[in-house]
Structure 1
Amino acid sequence: MRLKDIRIGYKILVLVLVGIIGMAALGLSGYLGMSKASDDIDDMYSRKLKATRWMGSEMSLMRGVQMNIVKHILDPKDKAIEEALAERINKYGENWAKYKPLGMQSELAAAEIPHTEALWDKYMKEIQDVKNLVAEGKKDEAWQKYKNIENTTVKDLLKSLQGLRQVADDNAENLNNDIKARNSQQITFSTVLCLIAFLILGGLSVIIIRDITESLGRAVAACNKMRDGDFRLVGQSVVDRGDELGQMLTALTQMRGELTKLMRNVSESSEQLAASSEELTASSNQAAQASTQVAQSAADVVNSVEDQQKAVVKSNESVERVQSAVTHVKAQSTKVADNSASAAERAAAGSIAIDDSVNQIRSVERTVNGSAEVVDRLGERSKEIGEIVDTMAAIAEQTNLLALNAAIEAARAGEHGRGFTVVAEEVGKLAHESQESAEKIAKLIKDIQHDTEDAVDSMKTGREAVVAGARSVEGLRTMFEEINGLVKGVSQQIQTVDEAVDAMAQEAATITTEVAHISGYSNQVASEMQAVSAATEEQSASAQEIASASDSLAVLAQKQQEALARFRF
């Protein structure tokens, strides 16, 4: 497959994929290098730098042991010195246990470690001998022995520790150099890989861009020719591309051919249009003259129809006035009929109301008679109560006299009648109070009897008034019955008049409808004639406009031919 046949989107996708692959390779290379460097750094710290640190710590502890053993020889009773010595020895053992696994990973250190451990064991044994001499009080001998240890075992042990430390330092230095070398190789590899990716991407970009710009140049050249008026297809190169640019060039060539055909058709149409416009101008002038004559005739007909319409309007107005009068009479008769019916209904309702009033008045009369009887009985009862009160007053007076006599008899009795005197006085007081109460009741009874007599008189007067009202209402009911009969007669007469008025209204409405039809026909004829006149005038104006437009069209066709003459097709 040729590059020209591959779609532009796929070409751009290839560039993007090449860029992505290059960036991915570069990123992967960097990631692997960084991962390796990270592992080397971890190894340097865990294996080399830690070993160096432990060796430095061991040498420091070794010197501390030397210092503490000297202090112990000088002052064997100081427990703090002895404890510090034991602590440093234990610390040395702990650090050695941490260092040994790291040191065994190096061949040089692994060969030296057994020798160092043997020297340390020997040193611990000799220190124990010195401590035993000190415990026995042999300081000088202990000091001399320790000086010998310093010159032999201590020097050998420190030398061995220094050698192990040097091995750790050398390993760290070698690892650092290896890391630098690998980093340099990684940088070189990444740079070369980046340059290769850029070269591939740049080469593909140049090829694709050149391929695209070549086709765009052909399209621009074709557009420039069309801009200059050259639509000829002579000398047009063949499109040999299968991508979007090839499709664009093919479409551009086809568009150029279609525009050429269009211009040729427009040129031929312009010539025909110029010839036809001259014929149309002559025909339009003749049509305008004929339309003017028709419009004049239509105007005369419209005037005649308007005169007829005025006469019809006057007739219609007269009929409408008659119909209005009939309608008014009908409305008045209807109103009177409604009023008569309402009066009849109200008269009937009044008669019913009067019957109810008579019944109510009779009920009131019965109630008043009953109340009068009750009041009479109340007067009799009050008289009986008055007699009882008089009896009570007499009894109270008699009781008072008896109490007075009892008091006199008690006074005669002297000391023996003193208690009875008190009782007589109390009885006298009660009799006096009973007499006063009886007098008050008697007064109230007299007032009640007086009020009862007044009520009896009022009841008699009310009963007479009720009887007179009942007689008056009976007469009023008779009058309402007569009024109701008269109203019914008037209603029947008004109904007869209303029927006659309805017949007149229907006849007037029929006349009005017919006159309205005549007026409508006249209006329709006038409207049609006006429409004919207006249409004729419009036709005349249109014919004139067509003639004017035909002239303009001829001029436009001439200008169009002149404009097409500028193009080559």
Structure 2
Amino acid sequence: MRIGIYADDPGQVASLCRELDAQFLWAAGPELEGTFPFPVYDDYAAAMADNPASMVIDCIGDLRDQQSMVVPADAVFYLLGAGRGFSGSGANSAFLAASAQLSASIDKILKKIDLLNIYSQKLTQVGGQLNEASAGILGDLERTGRILDSITRIAKRSKIIGLNSAIEAARVGEQGRGFAVVAEEIKTLADDSAQSILDIGKILTGIKQRSDEFALRTSSVNDFSDMQQQTTSEISAMLQALKELGQHLKQLPA
């Protein structure tokens, strides 16, 4: 387990080195000095940047870090005392039993987290499929729009033909009356077609807007799924570090 120490007192660091048989990565803290078998930093962020720790023992009490599990030094010293101070007694047995129960509980939680990761991955897959479906809808809308453009051009030409026919019918007088009726009908059909095209265009615009909203929400689902996977991974890492600490404490000599 990758452990760091955050402290401002070299004596606390030395105590942890004596009491806890672990391989520390570093010690860091404001104005921290001392000679230890690992690097010493005066800046916590620099220590984490050089060698990230999965768990940090906080001897100062003001450390806030969401990237690693922060364990108060008082809790570590207390557990060390509980593990060593009651050798052969019922209290020691109770401590070991509690450690075993904690380890078992963490195993169950880790299994649940694995299930959450599986569900999150499935959710991501569904989101990808929905994105593909949304892209297909947009493609169909574009093709439909091109067809409507063609129909619009035909309607405009039909209207022009109807107007020209009406002009020719008026020019020939009584003999063109029947032709004038046909020309008026062509013009009416062209006007109706143009209005229908406008109505269809409005409907398609509404469909496109809803499709865009659908794609946006699908993207939000994917983002949420990614955040969920990241969060569960971080929780899993913290629980794993806590489990390793419990197992380490169980193995300490009495």
- Normalization by structure 2: what TM-score? 0.53
Counterpart AA for 1:427: I
* Separation in structure 1 between the aligned mates of residue 105 and residue 177 of structure 2, nearest angstrom: 92
Which residue is equivalent to 1:433?
192
8 A Cα contact 1:390 1:442, kept in partner: no
Q: Secondary structure at the match of 1:382?
A: helix
Q: Looking at CA atoms only, which structure, 1 or 2, has the larger radius of gyration?
A: 1
> Aligned partner of 2:123: which letter?
V
Matches within 5 A, 1:330-349: 342-349=101-108
Seen in structure 2, the aligned counterparts of structure 1 residues 430 and 335 have a Cα distance that, compared at 3 Å, is farther
Quick one: which of 86, 111, 115 aligns to 1:352? 111
Deviation at 1:492, TM superposition (A): 8.7
In structure 2, the residue corresponding to 1:362 is in which secondary structure?
Answer: helix
Native 8 Å contact 1:354 1:473 kept in 2: yes
Among 238, 243, 246, the residue aligned to 1:479: 238
Q: For 1:400-423, what per-residue CA distance to the aligned partner results, in whole angstroms no more than 9, with x for missing partners?
A: 121222223333444443333333
Letter in 2 for 1:435: A
SS class of match (2:169)? helix
Residue 377, structure 1, aligned to residue 150, structure 2: no
Counterpart of 1:443 (choices 182, 196, 202) is: 202
1:151-181 superposed Cα distances (whole Å, 9 cap, x missing partner): xxxxxxxxxxxxxxxxxxxxxxxxxxxxxxx
Q: What is the match of residue 421 of structure 1?
A: 180
1:365 correspondence with 2:117: no
Distance 1:354 1:400 in 2: 68
C-alpha distance in 2 between matches for 1:360 and 1:440: 43
The amino acid across from 1:447 in the alignment is G
Aligned to 1:386: 145
CA distance in 1, matches of 2:218, 2:178: 59
| Distance in structure 1 (CA, Å) of the matches to 2:179 and 2:156 | 20
* Residue 469 of structure 1 pairs with residue 199 of structure 2: no
Compared with structure 1, are the counterparts of its residues 420 and 475 closer, same or farther at alpha carbon in structure 2 (3 Å cutoff)? same
Match in the other structure for 2:163: 404
Written as runs of structure 1 = structure 2, the 5 A alignment for 1:16-415 is 342-415=101-174
The code of the aligned residue for 1:394 comes to R
Distance across 2 between alignment mates of 1:389 and 1:339: 74
Partner residue in 2 for 1:89: none
Deviation at 1:352, TM superposition (A): 0.6
Letter in 2 for 1:387: R
Task: Encode CA deviations 1:167-196: one digit per residue, 9 max, x unaligned.
Answer: xxxxxxxxxxxxxxxxxxxxxxxxxxxxxx
Query: What's the offset of the Cα at 1:389?
Result: 1.2
Amino acid at match of 2:198: E
Letter in structure 2 aligned against 1:377: G
- The residue number in structure 2 matching 1:82 is none
Q: Aligned-pair distance for 1:432? A: 0.8
Report if aligned partners of 1:382, 1:445 keep a CA contact under 8 Å in 2: yes
Quick one: distance in 1 between partners of 2:154 and 2:201? 14
Q: 1:551: which partner in 2?
A: none
The C-alpha deviation readout for 1:530-566, integer Å capped at 9, x for no partner, is xxxxxxxxxxxxxxxxxxxxxxxxxxxxxxxxxxxxx
Residues 347-386 of structure 1: CA distance to partner in whole angstroms, max 9, x if unpaired?
1111011111112222222222232233233223222222
| 8 Å CA contact retained: 1:393, 1:439 | no
- Structure 1 residue identity aligned to 2:234: G
Aligned-partner Cα distance in 2 for 1:333–1:427: 100
CA distance in 2 between counterparts of 1:410 and 1:361 reads 72
Alpha-carbon displacement from aligned partner over 1:91-138 (angstroms, at most 9, x marks no partner)? xxxxxxxxxxxxxxxxxxxxxxxxxxxxxxxxxxxxxxxxxxxxxxxx
Counterpart Cα distance in 2 of 1:381 and 1:452: 11
Q: Give CA deviations for 1:66-111 in whole Å, capped at 9, x if unaligned.
A: xxxxxxxxxxxxxxxxxxxxxxxxxxxxxxxxxxxxxxxxxxxxxx
For residue 166 of structure 2, give the secondary structure of its aligned residue in structure 1: helix
Amino acid aligned to 2:197: A
| Alignment partners' CA distance in 2, 1:464 and 1:482 | 27
**Aligned-partner residue type, residue 131 of structure 2:** A
The RMSD of aligned alpha carbons is 3.3
Q: Give the conservation status (yes or no) of the 8 Å contact 1:400–1:432.
A: yes
- Which residue identity is paired with 1:353? K
Cα offset, 1:436, TM superposition: 0.6
Partner of 2:21: none
Give the alignment's TM-score, normalised by structure 1.
0.25
